[in-house]
Structure 1
Amino acid sequence: MINVLVTGAGGFIGKNLIDVLQQDKKIIVNQYHRNDDVSQLYQYLNNADIVYHLAGVNRPKENEEFTKVNKGLTETIVKYLKDQNKTPLIVFSSSRQAEMNNPYGQSKKEAEEVLKKFSIETGADVRIYQLPGVFGKWCKPHYNSVVATFCHEIAHHREIDIHDADKMLELVYIDDVVNSFIDCLYEKKMGKTFYQHIKQTFHITVGELANRLYKIRDIRKSLIIPDLSDLLTKYLYTTYLSYIEPNDFSYRLPTHKDSRGSLIELIKSHQAGQIFMSTTKKGVIRGNHYHHTKVEKFCVIKGTANIKLRKIGNDKTITYTVSDQNIEIVDIPPGYTHSIENITDEEIIVLFWANELFDPNNPDTFYLQVDRDKTD
């Protein structure tokens, strides 16, 4: 078993780290919170194999709190460990501001120096992460993360304040931080440096950050999912959703109805096309058209239908009878006129995927009956 102590357990990084640690049955996680008695801290230190020292303040009412907590708590931990002749691995969450001339940064730098001295004197393994702006789920808005603040305000339909749109931000995703911290449990320290780095960070201006979050917000209207192959966009999308209120998780979609049934667009993507669905009444035939470049997939998820295809210039008709009793997908290649007919007494529901968004100026859709005997 591995005994782990996490200080600052109730904070943003602490909660995410603890959630992952607790999934491993070989790890005993002890949590030290802001208002816990110091005797509890000492008890946890007695058994700790590794200390994740995440506790700290960065927006206190008085500047003295920086030194009292950021440096003072670190000194308390180190003194007790030295008195008890204990040398657990210590992973310290510092900040890039430790290199800056401000009260918060100075207090973090002083805490770093306390830990480095402890390592030199005792041989303890100390690993310091000077983190840039960390973002992700459970981060407190209006505190120390512009991403959290922007996500919270936009998700709550409020305007955001941008003082310098061109300011460059360096960001790191919470899962990358947690994974790097977890690696410390099993990896031996390489080299003599105290400082560790998260392998993946992102750079974006404040203005571009806001633009991406507004596009994410507007998915509910445009239905266009951003390019999630871009990891920063993927992580911002994930983070944004975590700030939506539970009573606002769902949203309605426009439904287009006519005598045949209904059609509803679900998801659109400039990279991956679009997904939509239709309901079709008894005996109705949809389609009887072909595409030159657009390709589609049909999937009947309720009812039974005949999907017919015929290659342009060929007389042979291919028929697939598909139903919700045996879910399957029928590919619609280019150059094949195709149709779908409801052959049940109730409405059918069909799920569609097309490899490109519908463009009314270039629909790539040409009418042609599948069944030869139904042509003029």
Structure 2
Amino acid sequence: MKILVTGSKGFIGKNLIAKLKSQNYIEVLEYSRETNKDLLDEYCKEADFIFHLAGVNRPKDQSDFMDVNYGFTSILLDTLKKYQNTCPVMLASSTQAEQNNPYGISKKAGEDLLFEYSKKTGAKVLVYRLPNVFGKWSRPNYNSVVATFCHNIAHDLPIKVSDPSLEMKLVYIDDVVEELLEALSGNENSIQGYCQIPVVHKTTLGEIVELIYSFKKSREERSIPNMSHTFTKKLYSTFLSFLSENQFSYDLKMNVDLRGSFTEFIKTPDRGQISVNISKPGITKGNHWHHSKNEKFLVVSGQGVIRFRNFNSNEVVEYFVSGDKLEVVDIPVGYTHSIENLGNADMVTIMWVNEIFDPEKPDTIYLEV
């Protein structure tokens, strides 16, 4: 199967092609402004399906709106007619097609051209009026305000928010690509002649800005956004894609002493926190218990023993642990506990606790096991 993708170097094009190329039975014909124009004839002759993504939304000259959004669409359809190729054609339009502005007018003209082409040839056409699309590989100051905000905030550049209460409808690039693949299979989400992306996120400009700033701050606070909120999860992925390659890592504060070290890794308000504990050979840590706080220990390197004693008992229970056999040990409330390094090298333990440490209410009572 041969798929022609116009606008192949664009935001949606790059994401769609990356997905299409993972399917070995599909041959992708990529067409962009840099492509030899003579190839359009060959591609239109051979294509079994066309994703027409080429377009402009921020040209230097307003005449480019019609030249590309309408003019190139006309050239594409005329070339298909030339070779009597009535394969399905998908058009990436915009919700701006409903507006009386140069961009919207050009998009509406492209839609009308496609619908007329369908009437004359019988070819199946799929018109998607896309709202703001966000995600990886988008261009700041071009594709969407989300791309601009993510880029600027990630690089400590100022942003301008004209109206924080402005309501926005957004679709995530992976949801767009998933729907386009459904369209390729003939299962498009069509409503009253137009196709839709099933998952649309509604929010305000101010909420977007607040979230992106919180993502940047989360690296300093060792926190993680609420990933159960689907828009937050998608926006966070988008923000990370705008980090420079020298920004991928960030330092953690290691609390180091002669016994080893203790380092907080991730903190969440509703899922507790994760830390990394390193114990030197022969060192015992802990010897305390909790009323309500509970933990999970996972030794990932070295070997040792975790000892327990119920507050109301003198009996000691031992769990021998090793990085050679990963197992999680729960630390129940009401048991004083300790962990001792029995090996000749550092022992590394991943520790999860069900709440972020509160120095005002530590719920940690010293008691020898």
TM-score (norm 2): 0.97
Q: Does the 8 Å CA contact 2:189/2:198 hold for their aligned counterparts?
A: no
Compute the displacement of 1:191 (Å). 6.8
Partner of 1:66: 65
Q: Does the 8 Å CA contact 1:95/1:130 hold for their aligned counterparts?
A: yes
Q: Does the 8 Å CA contact 1:168/1:205 hold for their aligned counterparts?
A: yes
- CA distance, structure 1, for counterparts of residue 157 and residue 28 of structure 2: 39
What is the percent sequence identity of the aligned residues?
A: 45
Partner of 1:373: none
Q: Does the 8 Å CA contact 1:302/1:324 hold for their aligned counterparts?
A: yes
Query: Where do 1:249-264 residues align within 5 Å?
Result: 249-264=248-263
2:328 matches 1:325: no
Q: Report the more deviating stretch, 110-119 or 30-39.
A: 30-39
Residue identity matched to 1:204 = T
Residue identity matched to 2:286 = G
Q: 1:247 to 1:181 in 2, by over 3 A?
A: same
Residue identity matched to 2:226 = D
Partner of 1:23: 22
Query: Where do 1:76-87 residues align within 5 Å?
Result: 76-87=75-86
- CA distance, structure 1, for counterparts of residue 159 and residue 66 of structure 2: 32
Query: Where do 1:92-107 residues align within 5 Å?
Result: 92-107=91-106
Q: Report the more deviating stretch, 126-135 or 329-338.
A: 329-338
Residue identity matched to 1:30 = L
Q: Report the more deviating stretch, 348-357 or 172-181.
A: 348-357
2:338 matches 1:339: yes
Aligned-CA RMSD value: 1.4
Aligned length: 369
Query: Where do 1:1-376 residues align within 5 Å?
Result: 2-188=1-187, 193-370=192-369
- CA distance, structure 2, for counterparts of residue 342 and residue 64 of structure 1: 73
Q: Report the more deviating stretch, 85-94 or 278-287.
A: 278-287
Compute the displacement of 1:84 (Å). 2.4
Q: Report the more deviating stretch, 155-164 or 174-183.
A: 155-164
Q: Report the more deviating stretch, 47-56 or 265-274.
A: 265-274
In the alignment, structure 1 segments of 5+ residues that lack a partner are 371-376
- CA distance, structure 2, for counterparts of residue 21 and residue 146 of structure 1: 27
State the Cα deviation string for residues 321-372 of structure 1 (Å, max 9, x = none): 11222222211112221111122233322110112111112222222221xx
Compute the displacement of 1:82 (Å). 2.2
Residue identity matched to 2:230 = L
- CA distance, structure 2, for counterparts of residue 298 and residue 262 of structure 1: 15
- CA distance, structure 1, for counterparts of residue 123 and residue 345 of structure 2: 73
Partner SS state of residue 52, structure 1? strand
State the Cα deviation string for residues 270-315 of structure 1 (Å, max 9, x = none): 1221110111223222111112222211111222111011222122
